[in-house]
């Protein structure tokens, strides 16, 4: 609590009161109640103020105490207000502060305060009574109002009150006393007695209850005076002496007595309140005087007002009075000028203003029109944009947004690639405007119709009429202007000569000139239009007449057309009169124009003439001077004195005379005399206007029913028959592909085709083109009349209501013998025109159920970007293309009304453009200086290109992790090579696809030719060329692969959630239970089940090690060392060679340059049971399916025999020392591509090994086979007795394997891309259904009816099969050698980049030609995965399965077939799907007639449509040139030898020439043996009877030679046979044999190579490599 | 060829009335620009925020551009989708923001908007989801069309973007 004694100094001093201080203190006094004490002390200004004024101080004091006693809690707003108030003492808003302060106090407790009523009403809307009996305080408070400048009446009233209060005397002695006491007591609050307080309170109340105060009156009058506040001049303020001493605000507030009483009681209870009453004290002489309210009656006031004020009348004023004298009223509207809209003003208001202005005689406010000069309304009703309004409206029709239902999130992905749209094309009708079957009458009728259309259009437009009306108006205004000019001239001359300035005159002249020019232009234009009208009319009538003539002469109506001519007779005399007037006027005008022209010309002529004359004079003088000089020179007296000036003169003269003299300007022609002009005008009139008296003609074209043809001439009859015969239909082509066509209809007699078809087309992407072809055909032939290209609608364009019209014209020339006129015939009367017509159509995107436009998403192609509607609309306003100058000129010529808002945008735009800025807008195009542009069309330099390629994942740069930062450091050559190669590859691929297209379209002959050419071309190349060829083929393959990838990429790129998020399953009760049960599970179960492993998806793999696990179980039927030879050759040198038939084998597995091998196992049937694991490195550590599919690495498995050679020379050391050399001899190998492992997830089974044709020194154990594996049993399959298993496969070595990936990588999903097909849609769709039906029942089996051909189109499988004759060279062999065919054909196709499928197809074709029952078998096998085999039927229940790529054949019941599953069979005319329970070959019945096969064609399904085969009828295979083969062979052998020596490294390689000679002989016979000897079962490089190989070559005629060598040498050799593709392939094969690894001392080598050519540049390569060690 | 690297992330969003949001973005380039490396468009995951939290995407941007001129400076078109309880999405914000032309690190805020439909559409949107959607994303940046839209403010998408300019000074552009 603040105590009163806190300001001792304030109390002691007395000061002078200043209003500012008082105001300031007031704030504090009121608001300070809530201030902490220290604040007052700290503010020096405040302290001063306080110290000088004791009374206020105390007043503040009182109030503070009073308030605090009532409201102990202090409202926060006051604080804020106070702080504000302290900061701004001297601002005028004191009153506001006060109110704020009060307001802040109010909510806390009702503060009783005496105040002005209006103050209260502002404080709060609540009825609040503020009590404060401290009048001083109130007075101070109101003094604060002084700060407010008297802004309104209320403040005026308050000012009065303030004035009144300011007279309040200083506090009386009593208060002085109290103050003094307070000051003396310092900290003691003077506690006055309650009695005293009451007494004082009572006194105050007495004061209050005095009569009406001056303030009261002021309140009343203020309202009245308020009205006159602004109009009245205020009299000098009279300071009235206070008359009524007992003023109190209580009276103003006049609360009820009871309340007063209550308040009084409340106040009584407050001890502190009493003091304030004591302070105010009794006023002996109150400062106010009570005056009664002065009321001036209304009528008096009116009178007063009328005398002082001017009230303008609201009635319209006189028009004449508003204009300046001598000015006539103009109406710009009448003159054709645009008058903008004025802002709306009520007429009364306008009149008031006008009258006021008129009263002030300010006439310059009025314009010539007699109204107020006002600006046009700046507010435009229309919303403006920089688009022209009509365009806006057009666009407004298309909504920008569409309501979309919430969609599944998958839809977001689809948005990027253009999804399909639905296009609606409605063909409304076709109408020919010329057709070869038109009769002459038709031609005329078409012309008539066309002219009539034009006529109708012109009549509707009424251009002539409008122009003539305009001319009339122009003439009138011109006349008016002339008159006005004359009158003003007269006026100005007579009355105000100085008013009319030269400028105004000039202005009038200019306007006259403009009008004149306009009249001329308008007249000429009108004349032209009228002439056109007239010509059109006469033309129409003439055509009609000729039609009538024709009809008359032929006595037949060919068309139903009829022209009605209506005539309106006019008054001839009147017309003549009118014409005369017009004529006169025009003549006058023309004369005037000519005259003016003449004047202008003559003026110019005079000027020119004057100039010429001056020039001429100069010349004359110069010539004279020259003459003089010449004479002087002749005389010999040279006037030297003249000096320089003379010289200059001479030079000038010379130049002047040297230039040719300009011709004398010709005098302008005299203006023609009047009669000539009249004649001219008359001539024009005759052309443009109808002669007087001629009736006004209006035309109407109607149709009349066509009469029956009974008596028409022959040609016409024939024509009609032809018309009736002809059929016309329309074909709709999208992207040049036939989509649909209308039904063919005959043309009507009027050559129209009512259509009204709507075609709805679902498009997968934006169409590139949309064409409608008009086709007509008689009974047999059909001709394309014309094709119409329709504009592709924009992305928001839907079908419009009004059809659009497309015109078309054909180009063919037709002539008829009957009455048909034909077309395109130059020189004929009627048939010169080409076939033309119009097509009415509606085109637009369909709208969906929700009203959305079903346009394809994605950006439309560039040419379809602009919707046609907007482009045409733009054309309407667009100024002609061209530069700024053109635009400006166009603007001037168009002479747009700049005031018209319709032109505002255009004008602004043009002005801007004319101002030098670019028309296109938006600044000028900044271009980097010094940029060499885009290098090679792509630009950006080599570095950026490399970066780009790396980003695209090109193989060359995929691994380039670091690309140099500087351009100069990037190697350019690889890039250039790369680009060149890419280009070549693309070209190549294009060519191949083109060939494929030819084949695919069923044109077998053409395809055959193409193929033959291709082959021929290939056949020409040999050696290096062959290699090049191979390279190119490789490139082609790569590009094909890339194309396919491109096609599939959208599907494969979309990752699924599992690719991104790995979610471990939360263990639940089930997993817990199973883990508990695992305790009781058998630890080593007898039949262990394989647990399925988790599949790991792409993204989770990156940090993992993927391993390839190869489990090598066992091998069967391994050849053993020939005991005889062993003993022979090696003596006892070989360790373990003691027992015959021993072999110590191991398997070496190589994958990604990692080689691991198993341990050594012994015997012909070794068991290893070893697991080898290899780290798998994905390309670029990218484990996505896409990149894994591109892994082209293979797993190589080699079976070796480990031979231990004892190197110990001294046998005595044997018991104590070991010195051995290990040598691996190759027995066979197996190659499994990684892609097979990846696609199948695991590979399990027993596989046959690829073995060398001859294995010297090894033999098969007869016991091991358990079968009679003799050479006779393994004879060629056709000869195999029925029921007898060919022992072929058991005769080779087999290896049991299990290969998988750990963790297992998911195989890629089968790709389901849609491809187009050139086959009938029903076949394709039926195939789809067939596949779907089968796949749902047998999900593991893969079925297909259509496959992709080279060009990426679907082709039915059956079409691939066709009996093909094998090459004749092979056919000449005996029938037993048929097996050779496919071996060679396989090679042939290998060179042409074939796969199993191609091999199988060719093989099947050959078989078919040989009359066998052959099927194509689609299934799955190892190692190739999904594959294609050939099945032939040997006898009723005996089948043979042929593996086309390797050339083996086996019975389907064989246990070790590479074929694992049979899915379907394909024959030449049907496809059968396997619907048997099992699909493994031994259990599948191959009889397609049985119930186990479901055919594709027939049996309730689709009938065979008889599709043509895609195969050519025969293959042309040229024979190679033997010389070239020889050359190649030599080169190959050389390179092989070189390679061999290189492999040997540091070891010396010795070639045994004798052995080479022997081997070469041997190798040359090999091919012969294969083709002739019946002993070869599968005469391929994997001899099926290899068990007999060692036996066989013993009986071989050449073996004697070999035996001789083997006597002297220990021979270890391998014969490799393969189809030739590249030299590198041969080299690699030899390297794989591993003969070069022999390390024996003194080893010699022999290498022989033989090439056997086959038709179609197929080469069979035989290589025999042997290592020879001299026997000791 | 001057080069621009844009490396950064779409940090997240705030101020959207919905809590499960995803953002589709598209880099728009002028004619003289070429994308050398990186993706020019993408889509963030759908992030579900707790009450009052910001949406966090932290979607990486790594774009390498080359240019012939500064016209058509790259800008990002953003479309914010909300995902409802049934994993259906609808648009709740469109925005466009220019890649800063000044090299260095920038924290950008892209304010977004969405079109307002009729009362019934808004009513449906409030209860059933869906809503008016622009027919073409071109309208996001075309000043020619935008005036016909009535839109409502949506939230803000925040981006942290580092810009590296290269060889601009070679062509007379001070960086």
* Token pair for A718: 């024939």
Cross-chain Cβ contact A400/B172 below 8 Å: no
Looking at the whole model, is its pTM more than 0.80? no
Judge whether A948 is closer than 8 Å to chain B, CB to CB. yes
- What is the least distance, in Å, from the CA of B97 to any CA of chain A? 19
A219-230 confidence digits (pLDDT tens): 655 555 555 555
CB-based contact A1134:A1204 (threshold 8 Å): yes
A445-459 confidence digits (pLDDT tens): 888 888 888 888 888
The CA-atom distances, in angstroms, between A853 and each of A334, A404, A408, A422 are 50, 12, 20, 9
Cross-chain Cβ contact A402/B133 below 8 Å: yes
Say how far apart CA A354 and CA A367 lie, in whole Å: 12
pLDDT band, residue B27 (cuts 50/70/90): very high
Cross-chain Cβ contact A405/B130 below 8 Å: yes
Cross-chain Cβ contact B148/A930 below 8 Å: no
Q: Please state, as a whole number, how many other Cβ atoms lie within 10 Å of the Cβ of residue A1107.
A: 15
- What is the least distance, in Å, from the CA of A928 to any CA of chain B? 6
User: Does the pLDDT value for residue B104 go beyond 90?
Assistant: yes
User: Does the pLDDT value for residue A1271 go beyond 50?
Assistant: no
Say how far apart CA A962 and CA A960 lie, in whole Å: 6
CB-based contact B5:B163 (threshold 8 Å): yes
Q: Which residues of B touch A411 (CB under 8 A)?
A: 89
- What is the least distance, in Å, from the CA of A892 to any CA of chain B? 29
The CA-atom distances, in angstroms, between A1428 and each of A892, A1066, A1417, A1431, A1475 are 81, 45, 6, 10, 18
Cross-chain Cβ contact A927/B134 below 8 Å: no
A69-122 confidence digits (pLDDT tens): 344 444 444 444 444 444 444 434 444 444 444 444 444 333 333 334 344 444
Which residue on chain A is closest to B65 by alpha carbon? Answer: A944
Say how far apart CA A1051 and CA A1078 lie, in whole Å: 42
Q: Please state, as a whole number, how many other Cβ atoms lie within 10 Å of the Cβ of residue A1539.
A: 18
Comparing CB atoms, the residue among A403, A416, A947 nearest residue B130 is A403
Question: Coil, strand or helix: which one is A627?
Answer: helix
- Count how many residues are written for chain A: 1672
Judge whether A410 is closer than 8 Å to chain B, CB to CB. no
Say how far apart CA A15 and CA A685 lie, in whole Å: 110
Question: Coil, strand or helix: which one is A361?
Answer: coil
Q: Which residues of A touch B148 (CB under 8 A)?
A: 395-396, 400
* Token pair for A104: 């802040």
A849-907 confidence digits (pLDDT tens): 666 677 776 656 544 333 333 333 333 333 444 445 555 566 565 555 556 655 666 66
User: Best interface-test mutation with A: which of B92, B128, B133 has the largest number of A CBs within 10 A?
Assistant: B133
Q: Which residues of A touch B113 (CB under 8 A)?
A: none
Cross-chain Cβ contact B1/A944 below 8 Å: yes
Strand A745-746 vs strand A737-741: parallel, antiparallel, or unpaired? Answer: unpaired
Q: Which residues of A touch B71 (CB under 8 A)?
A: 925-926
Which residue on chain B is closest to A397 by alpha carbon? Answer: B148
Cross-chain Cβ contact B90/A796 below 8 Å: no
* Per-residue pLDDT at A1374: 35
Q: Which residues of A touch B23 (CB under 8 A)?
A: none
Judge whether A385 is closer than 8 Å to chain B, CB to CB. yes
Say how far apart CA A808 and CA A753 lie, in whole Å: 14
Domains in chain B (CATH in brackets) are: 2-171 (2.60.40.150)
Q: What integer best gives the mean pLDDT of chain A?
A: 67
DSSP element (H, E) containing A1161: strand A1161-1162
A423-439 confidence digits (pLDDT tens): 888 888 888 888 877 87
CB-based contact B63:B73 (threshold 8 Å): no
* Per-residue pLDDT at A910: 60
Cross-chain Cβ contact A928/B83 below 8 Å: no
User: Best interface-test mutation with A: which of B5, B70, B118, B148 has the largest number of A CBs within 10 A?
Assistant: B148
Burial class (CB in 10 A: 0-12, 13-18, 19+), A1503: exposed
Burial class (CB in 10 A: 0-12, 13-18, 19+), A669: exposed
Comparing CB atoms, the residue among A387, A400, A931 nearest residue B171 is A931
Task: Please state the rounded mean pLDDT for residues A1533-1556.
Answer: 85
A1286-1339 confidence digits (pLDDT tens): 344 456 788 888 888 877 776 666 555 556 666 777 777 888 888 888 888 888
CA-nearest of A1469, A1473, A1472, A1471 to A1508 is: A1469
Residue A571 or B20, more confident: B20
For A1546-1568, letters b (16+ CB in 10 Å) and e give eeebeebebbbebbbebbbbbbe
Say which range, A90-94, A205-209, A1100-1104, A1448-1452, has the weakest mean pLDDT: A90-94
Cross-chain Cβ contact B2/A928 below 8 Å: yes
* Per-residue pLDDT at A10: 38
Task: Please state the rounded mean pLDDT for residues A516-545.
Answer: 86
Say how far apart CA A49 and CA A57 lie, in whole Å: 9
A1071-1122 confidence digits (pLDDT tens): 888 888 888 888 888 887 777 766 665 555 555 678 889 999 988 888 888 7
Phi/psi class of residue A1472: alpha, beta or left (left: φ > 0; alpha: ψ in -120 to 50)? beta
Which residue on chain A is closest to B38 by alpha carbon? Answer: A951
CB-based contact A1346:A1324 (threshold 8 Å): yes
Comparing CB atoms, the residue among B36, B83, B121 nearest residue A944 is B36
Comparing CB atoms, the residue among A400, A401, A927 nearest residue B69 is A927
> Quick one: three-class SS letters along A433-475?
EECCCCCHHHHHHHHHHHHHHHHHHHHHHCHHHHHHHHHHHHH
Q: Which residues of B touch A413 (CB under 8 A)?
A: 43
Cross-chain Cβ contact B134/A395 below 8 Å: no
pLDDT band, residue A1196 (cuts 50/70/90): confident
* Per-residue pLDDT at B76: 93
Cross-chain Cβ contact A400/B117 below 8 Å: no
- Helices and strands per DSSP (H, E), number in chain A: 50, 37
Which residue on chain A is closest to B125 by alpha carbon? Answer: A405
User: Does the pLDDT value for residue A1643 go beyond 60?
Assistant: yes
- What is the least distance, in Å, from the CA of B66 to any CA of chain A? 7
Q: Which residues of A touch B64 (CB under 8 A)?
A: 947
Comparing CB atoms, the residue among A928, A934, A951 nearest residue B36 is A951
Comparing CB atoms, the residue among B37, B38, B149 nearest residue A401 is B149
Any alpha helices (H) in A640-706, and if so which ranges? 643-658, 674-688
Residue A208 or B43, more confident: B43
Q: Which residues pair with A1647 in a beta bridge?
A: A1665
- What is the least distance, in Å, from the CA of B103 to any CA of chain A? 18
A44-75 confidence digits (pLDDT tens): 444 444 344 444 444 444 444 444 334 444 44
- What is the least distance, in Å, from the CA of A794 to any CA of chain B? 12
User: Does the pLDDT value for residue A1268 go beyond 70?
Assistant: no
Task: Output the CA angle A236-A237-A238, nearest 5 degrees.
Answer: 110
* Token pair for A1175: 């780290």
- What is the least distance, in Å, from the CA of B49 to any CA of chain A? 18
Please give the ipTM for the structure prediction.
Answer: 0.89
- What is the least distance, in Å, from the CA of A418 to any CA of chain B? 12
Cross-chain Cβ contact B37/A926 below 8 Å: no
User: Does the pLDDT value for residue A191 go beyond 70?
Assistant: no
Comparing CB atoms, the residue among B43, B117, B172 nearest residue A412 is B43
> Quick one: three-class SS letters along A97-135?
HHHHHHHHHCCCCCCCECCCHHHHHHHCCCCCCECCCCH
Q: Which residues of A touch B27 (CB under 8 A)?
A: none
Q: Which residues of A touch B87 (CB under 8 A)?
A: 408-409
Q: Which residues of A touch B92 (CB under 8 A)?
A: none
- Residue B142: asked if its preceding bond is cis (omega within 30°), the reply is no
A1036-1048 confidence digits (pLDDT tens): 666 666 666 666 5
* Per-residue pLDDT at A67: 40
Say how far apart CA B93 and CA B80 lie, in whole Å: 5
pLDDT band, residue B109 (cuts 50/70/90): very high
A1005-1021 confidence digits (pLDDT tens): 333 333 334 433 444 44
Cross-chain Cβ contact B70/A931 below 8 Å: no
pLDDT band, residue A1463 (cuts 50/70/90): confident
Cross-chain Cβ contact B71/A925 below 8 Å: yes
Task: Please state the rounded mean pLDDT for residues A804-815.
Answer: 80
Cross-chain Cβ contact A405/B70 below 8 Å: no
Q: Which residues of A touch B2 (CB under 8 A)?
A: 928
A1233-1246 confidence digits (pLDDT tens): 887 788 777 788 88
User: Does the pLDDT value for residue B153 go beyond 90?
Assistant: yes
DSSP element (H, E) containing A1265: helix A1262-1265
pLDDT band, residue A706 (cuts 50/70/90): low
A153-170 confidence digits (pLDDT tens): 444 544 544 444 444 444
Say how far apart CA B152 and CA A43 lie, in whole Å: 53
Cross-chain Cβ contact A406/B132 below 8 Å: no
Judge whether A966 is closer than 8 Å to chain B, CB to CB. no
Judge whether A393 is closer than 8 Å to chain B, CB to CB. no
Judge whether A399 is closer than 8 Å to chain B, CB to CB. yes
pLDDT band, residue A1061 (cuts 50/70/90): confident
């Amino acid at each position: 609590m603040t105590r009163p004694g806190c300001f001792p100094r304030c109390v002691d001093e007395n000061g002078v009161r200043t209003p500012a201080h008082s105001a300031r203190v007031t704030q504090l006094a009121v608001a300070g109640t809530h201030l902490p004490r220290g604040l007052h002390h700290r503010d020096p200004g405040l302290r001063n103020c306080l110290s000088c004024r004791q009374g206020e101080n105390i007043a503040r004091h009182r109030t503070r105490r009073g308030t605090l006693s009532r409201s102990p809690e202090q409202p926060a707003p006051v604080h804020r207000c106070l702080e504000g108030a302290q900061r701004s003492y001297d601002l005028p808003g004191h009153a506001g502060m006060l109110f704020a302060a009060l307001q802040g106090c109010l909510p806390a407790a009702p503060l009783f305060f005496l105040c002005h009523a209006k103050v209260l009403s502002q404080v709060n809307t609540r009825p609040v009574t503020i009590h404060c009996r401290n009048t001083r305080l109130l007075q101070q408070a109101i003094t604060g109002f002084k700060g407010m400048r008297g802004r309104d009446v209320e403040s005026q009233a308050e000012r009065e009150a303030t004035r009144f209060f300011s007279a309040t005397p200083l506090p009386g002695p009593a208060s002085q006393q109290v103050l003094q006491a307070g000051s003396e007591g310092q900290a003691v609050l003077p506690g006055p007695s309650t009695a005293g307080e009451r007494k004082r309170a009572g006194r105050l109340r007495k004061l209050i209850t005095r009569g009406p105060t001056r303030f009261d009156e002021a309140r009343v009058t203020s309202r009245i005076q308020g009205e006159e506040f602004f109009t009245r001049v205020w009299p000098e303020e009279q300071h009235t002496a206070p008359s009524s001493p007992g003023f109190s605000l209580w009276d103003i507030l006049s609360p009820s007595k009871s309340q007063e009483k209550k308040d009084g009681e409340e106040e009584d209870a407050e001890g502190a309140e009493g003091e304030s009453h004591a302070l105010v004290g009794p006023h002996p002489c109150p400062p106010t005087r009570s005056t009664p309210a002065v009321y001036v009656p209304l009528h008096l006031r009116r009178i007063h007002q009328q005398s002082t004020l001017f009230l303008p009348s609201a009635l319209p004023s006189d028009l004449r009075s508003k204009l300046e004298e001598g000015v006539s009223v103009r109406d710009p509207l009448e003159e054709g000028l645009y008058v903008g809209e004025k802002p709306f003003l009520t007429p009364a208001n306008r009149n008031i203003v006008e009258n006021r202005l008129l009263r002030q005689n300010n006439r310059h406010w009025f314009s010539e029109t007699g109204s107020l000069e006002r600006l046009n309304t700046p507010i435009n009703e229309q919303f403006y944009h920089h688009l022209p309004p009509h365009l806006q409206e057009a666009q407004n029709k298309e909504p920008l947004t569409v309501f979309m239902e919430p969609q599944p999130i998958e839809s977001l992905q689809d948005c990027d690639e253009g999804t399909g749209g639905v296009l609606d094309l409605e063909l409304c009708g076709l109408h020919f405007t010329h057709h070869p079957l038109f009769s002459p009458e038709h031609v005329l009728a078409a012309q008539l119709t066309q002219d009539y259309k034009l006529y109708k259009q012109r009549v509707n437009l009424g251009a002539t009429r409008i122009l003539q009306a305009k001319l009339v108006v122009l003439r009138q205004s011109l006349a008016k202007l002339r008159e006005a000019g004359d009158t003003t001239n007269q006026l100005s001359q007579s009355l105000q000569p100085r008013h009319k300035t030269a400028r105004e005159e000039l202005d009038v002249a200019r306007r006259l000139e403009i009008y004149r020019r306009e009249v001329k232009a308008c007249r000429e234009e009108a004349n032209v239009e009228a002439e056109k009208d007239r010509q059109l009319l006469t033309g129409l009538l003439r055509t009609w007449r000729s039609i009538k003539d024709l009809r008359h002469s032929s006595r037949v109506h060919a068309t139903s057309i009829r022209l009605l001519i209506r005539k309106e007779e006019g008054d001839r005399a009147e017309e003549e009169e009118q014409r005369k007037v017009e004529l006169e006027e025009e003549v006058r005008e023309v004369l005037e124009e000519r005259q003016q022209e003449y004047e202008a010309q003559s003026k110019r002529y005079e000027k020119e003439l004057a100039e010429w004359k001056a020039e001429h004079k100069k010349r004359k003088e110069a010539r004279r001077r020259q003459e003089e000089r010449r004479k002087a020179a002749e005389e010999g007296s040279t006037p030297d004195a003249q000096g320089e000036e003379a010289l200059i003169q001479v030079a000038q003269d010379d130049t002047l005379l040297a230039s040719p003299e300009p011709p004398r300007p010709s005098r302008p022609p005299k203006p023609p005399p009047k009669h000539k002009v009249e004649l001219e005008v008359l001539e024009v009139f005759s052309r443009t206007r109808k002669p007087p008296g001629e009736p006004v003609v209006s035309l109407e074209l109607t149709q009349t029913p066509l009469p029956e043809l009974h008596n028409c001439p022959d040609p016409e009859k024939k024509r009609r028959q032809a018309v009736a015969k002809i059929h016309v239909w329309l074909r709709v082509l999208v992207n040049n592909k036939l989509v649909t066509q209308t039904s063919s209809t005959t043309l009507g007699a009027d050559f129209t085709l009512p259509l009204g078809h709507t075609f709805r087309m679902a498009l997968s992407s934006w169409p590139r083109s949309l064409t409608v072809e008009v086709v007509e055909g008689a009974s047999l032939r059909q001709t394309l009349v014309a094709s119409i290209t329709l504009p592709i609608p924009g992305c928001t364009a839907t079908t419009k209501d009004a059809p659009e019209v497309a015109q078309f014209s054909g180009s063919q020339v037709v002539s008829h013998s009957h009455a048909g006129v034909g077309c395109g015939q130059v020189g004929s009367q009627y048939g010169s025109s080409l076939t033309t017509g119009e097509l009415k159509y509606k085109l637009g995107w369909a709208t969906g159920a929700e009203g959305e436009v079903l346009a394809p998403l994605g950006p439309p192609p560039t040419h379809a970007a602009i919707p046609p509607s907007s482009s045409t609309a733009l054309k309407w306003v667009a100024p002609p293309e061209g530069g700024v100058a053109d635009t400006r000129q166009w603007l001037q010529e168009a002479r747009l009304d700049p005031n018209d808002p319709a032109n505002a945008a255009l004008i602004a735009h043009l002005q801007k453009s004319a101002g030098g800025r670019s028309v296109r807008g938006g600044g000028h195009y900044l271009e980097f200086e010094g940029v060499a542009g885009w290098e090679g069309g792509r630009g950006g330099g080599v570095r950026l290109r490399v970066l780009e390629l790396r980003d695209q994942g090109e193989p060359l740069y995929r691994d380039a992790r670091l690309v140099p930062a500087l351009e100069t450091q990037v190697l350019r050559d690889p890039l250039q090579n790369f680009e060149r190669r890419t280009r070549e590859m693309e070209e190549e691929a294009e060519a191949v696809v083109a060939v494929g297209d030819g084949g695919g379209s069923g044109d077998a002959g053409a395809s055959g030719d193409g193929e033959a050419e291709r082959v021929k071309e290939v056949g020409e190349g040999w050696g290096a060329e062959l290699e090049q060829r191979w390279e190119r083929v490789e490139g082609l393959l790569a590009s094909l692969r890339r194309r396919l990838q491109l096609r599939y990429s959208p599907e494969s790129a979309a990752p699924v959630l599992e690719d991104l998020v790995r979610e471990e399953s939360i263990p639940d009760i089930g997993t817990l239970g199973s883990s508990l049960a695992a305790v009781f599970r058998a630890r080593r179960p007898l039949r262990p089940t394989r647990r399925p492993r988790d599949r790991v998806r792409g993204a989770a793999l990156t940090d993992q090690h993927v391993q390839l696990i190869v489990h090598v179980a066992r091998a069967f039927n391994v050849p053993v060392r020939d005991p005889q030879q062993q003993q022979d050759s090696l003596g006892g040198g070989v360790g373990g060679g003691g027992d015959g038939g021993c072999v110590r084998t191991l398997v070496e597995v190589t994958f990604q340059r990692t080689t691991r091998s198993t341990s050594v196992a012994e015997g012909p049937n070794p068991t290893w049971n070893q697991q080898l694991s290899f780290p798998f490195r994905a390309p670029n550590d990218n484990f996505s399916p896409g990149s894994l599919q591109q892994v082209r690495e293979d797993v190589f498995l080699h079976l070796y025999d480990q031979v231990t050679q004892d190197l110990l020379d001294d046998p005595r050391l044997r018991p104590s020392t070991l010195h051995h050399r290990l040598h691996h001899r190759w027995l066979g190998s197996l190659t499994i591509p990684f892609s097979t492992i990846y696609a199948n997830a695991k590979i399990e089974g027993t596989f046959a090994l690829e073995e060398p044709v001859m294995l010297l020194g090894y033999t098969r154990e007869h016991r091991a086979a358990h079968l009679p594996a003799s050479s006779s049993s393994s004879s060629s399959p056709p000869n195999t007795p029925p029921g007898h298993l060919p022992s072929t496969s058991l005769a080779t070595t087999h290896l049991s394997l299990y290969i998988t990936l750990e963790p297992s990588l998911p195989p890629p999903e089968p790709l389901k891309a849609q491809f187009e097909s050139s086959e009938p849609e029903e076949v394709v769709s039926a195939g789809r259904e067939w596949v779907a039906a089968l796949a749902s029942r047998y999900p593991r089996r893969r079925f297909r009816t259509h496959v992709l051909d080279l060009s990426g189109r679907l082709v039915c499988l059956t079409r691939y099969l066709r009996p093909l004759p094998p090459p004749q060279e092979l056919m000449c062999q005996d029938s037993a050698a048929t097996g050779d065919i496919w071996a060679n054909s396989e090679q042939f196709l290998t060179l042409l980049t074939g796969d199993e499928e191609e091999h199988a197809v060719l093989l099947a074709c050959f078989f078919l030609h040989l009359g066998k029952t052959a099927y194509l078998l689609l299934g799955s096998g190892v190692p190739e995965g999904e594959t294609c085999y050939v099945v032939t039927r040997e006898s009723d229940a005996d089948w043979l399965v042929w593996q086309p790529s390797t050339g083996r054949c086996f019975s389907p019941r064989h246990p070790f077939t590479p074929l694992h599953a049979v899915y379907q069979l394909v024959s030449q005319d049907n496809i059968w799907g396997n619907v048997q329970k099992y699909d493994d070959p031994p259990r599948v019945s191959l009889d397609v007639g049985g119930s186990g096969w479901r055919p594709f064609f027939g049996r309730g399904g689709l009938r065979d449509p008889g599709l043509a085969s895609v195969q050519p009828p025969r293959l042309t295979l040229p024979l190679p040139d033997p010389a070239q083969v020889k050359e190649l062979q030599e080169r190959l052998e050389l390179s092989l030898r070189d390679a061999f020596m290189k492999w040997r490294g540091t070891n010396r390689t010795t070639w045994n020439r004798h052995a080479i000679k022997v081997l070469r002989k041997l190798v040359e016979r090999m091919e012969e043996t294969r083709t002739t000897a019946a002993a070869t079962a599968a005469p391929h490089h994997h001899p099926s009877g290899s068990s007999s190989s060692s036996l066989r070559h013993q009986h071989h005629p050449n073996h004697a030679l070999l035996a001789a060598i083997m006597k002297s040498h220990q021979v270890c050799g391998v014969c490799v046979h393969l189809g030739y593709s590249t030299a590198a392939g041969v080299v690699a094969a030899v390297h794989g044999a591993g003969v070069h690894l022999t390390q024996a001392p003194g080893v010699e080598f022999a290498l022989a190579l033989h090439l056997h050519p086959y038709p179609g540049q197929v080469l069979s390569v035989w290589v025999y490599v042997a290592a020879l060690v001299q026997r000791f | 060829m001057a080069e621009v690297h844009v490396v950064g992330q779409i940090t997240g969003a705030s101020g959207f009335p919905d809590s499960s949001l995803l953002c589709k973005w598209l880099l728009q380039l002028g004619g003289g620009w070429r994308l050398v490396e990186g993706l020019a468009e993408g889509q963030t995951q759908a992030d579900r925020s707790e009450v009052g939290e910001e949406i966090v995407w932290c979607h990486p941007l790594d774009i390498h551009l080359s240019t012939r001129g500064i016209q058509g400076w790259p800008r990002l078109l953003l479309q914010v989708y909300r995902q409802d309880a049934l994993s259906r999405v609808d648009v709740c914000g469109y925005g466009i923001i220019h890649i800063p032309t000044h090299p260095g690190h920038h924290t950008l805020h892209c304010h977004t908007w969405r079109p307002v439909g009729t009362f019934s559409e808004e009513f449906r949107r409030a209860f059933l989801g869906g809503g008016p959607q622009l027919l073409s994303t071109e309208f996001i940046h075309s000043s020619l069309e935008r005036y016909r839209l009535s839109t409502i403010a949506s939230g803000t998408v925040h981006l942290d973007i580092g810009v590296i300019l290269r060889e601009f000074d070679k062509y007379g552009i001070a960086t």
